[in-house]
Structure 1
């Protein structure tokens, strides 16, 4: 993870298909100072829970992104499948605590939802991508998914509830926040590519994506 510099550009959109209900983009939700502060918190997380390369279930094919987690639970993928667990898959230690700044962001955007239990940290190097997928490994879909972009601009693709639904593309810049709530909670989405020369927060065109999720429902009263 690299050095900081000047501010990133705002988001823009391409494509004509309508975004699913409950999908929101908040351009520049984090200002430069907030981005730099959050980056330092992410570096502390990575120092305690090093980045690892997940693998596709069954095939063992490595992802093109490296990742880690913070919070009570962390998302992992290997030959055994996709799942959440309480420990780092390599170190075997509990995940670091989630930064208070991320909890504050979640509470501001989803005040009625219980706190998130997992924050997935994805590091995209130039050439990395993430294919269309749904966030459906959780036990509950009542709470939204909140996603924060840091570093290089990513070409984000959002579709509908079926893989073959029409999609649209958006450029997510550093400091942009995405919310998938309501019907959009299970929308297909992914990162097509990282745009070269757009990172002013991380060197070498690196991009960090932080995805906050609630994994389990609250116990019945």
Structure 2
């Protein structure tokens, strides 16, 4: 039996209502995805943003799309220009758009067209604490999160920060999608362990595709 276009190679694992892990879904596009990240970085370099409380984030970030997520002493928000260069963020690559559409469809959220992608760069010792993605204008759209490079332990909780948290081991090429009832669930990444990946070296990249505006 021929595999469906939207069927993950390594299988689909349910996390919660509206949320799933698609094992190995992005693996075949690894070269195109990493080349696109390099092109975006050349125009809008990775940087360590500062939270409204004045703390520097350990994870380096950049963006592409119509809007980019930023944080500084003024707060969390989306804006159309890179605050470092003053220029518009790089456009969303076609390979990002295609992957987002296919992954969202495979997870039960057809018709997803992102307008923003936050790109996180993790190095050993960095982490991302539990948080909600709630700066977007409309929560009807899912989040598509793509893992590339070093493995990581993803945390997926519930609508309250105090809800039980599930730990999910993510490998290169895995994609996590959450939307609908789980759209505002808390999530994060535990401290990245030392390692070396043939495609990314001692780094992990995460693409988080959203509908921001």
Q: TM (normalized to structure 2)?
A: 0.88
Counterpart position of 1:124: 122
Aligned twin of 1:137: 135
1:36 and 2:34 equivalent?
A: no
Picking from 20, 31, 43, the partner of 1:24 is: 20
Could you tell me which residue of structure 2 aligns to residue 211 of structure 1? 208
2:15/2:21 contact within 8 Å kept: no
* Aligned residue number for residue 102 of structure 2: 108
Distance 2:196 2:182 in 1: 28
SS in 2 for 1:193: coil
**When the two structures are superposed, what TM-score results if normalisation uses the length of structure 1?**
0.85
Please give the alpha-carbon distance, in whole angstroms, between the structure 1 residues aligned to 2:104 and 2:172: 21
1:22–1:198 Cα change, 3 Å: farther
Question: What secondary structure does 2:153 align onto?
Answer: strand
Between the aligned partners of 2:192 and 2:94, the Cα distance in structure 1 is 28
Whether the 8 Å contact between 1:153 and 1:198 is mirrored in structure 2 is no
**CA distance, structure 1, for counterparts of residue 198 and residue 151 of structure 2:** 10
Q: CA RMSD in A?
A: 1.8
The equivalent residue for 2:4 is: none
Q: In structure 2, what is the equivalent of residue 7 of structure 1?
A: none
The one-character-per-residue Cα deviations of 1:105-156 (angstroms, maximum 9, x if unpaired) are 1222335435211100100111010000000001100010000011101110
Q: Indicate conservation of the 8 Å contact 2:26/2:99, yes or no.
A: no
Shift, 1:181, TM fit: 1.2
Whole-angstrom CA distance in 2 between matches of 1:76 and 1:42? 18
What does 1:45-56 correspond to in 2, within 5 Å? 45-56=40-51
| Cα separation, 1, equivalents of 2:166 and 2:101 | 28
Query: 8 Å contact 2:125–2:193 — kept in the other structure?
Result: no
- Pairing of 1:64-103 with structure 2 (within 5 A): 64-103=58-97
- Matched-pair contact (CA < 8 Å) for 2:50–2:73: yes
Partner deviation per Cα, 1:17-58 (whole Å, 9 max, x = no partner)? x94311110111122x4112210111000001111111111x
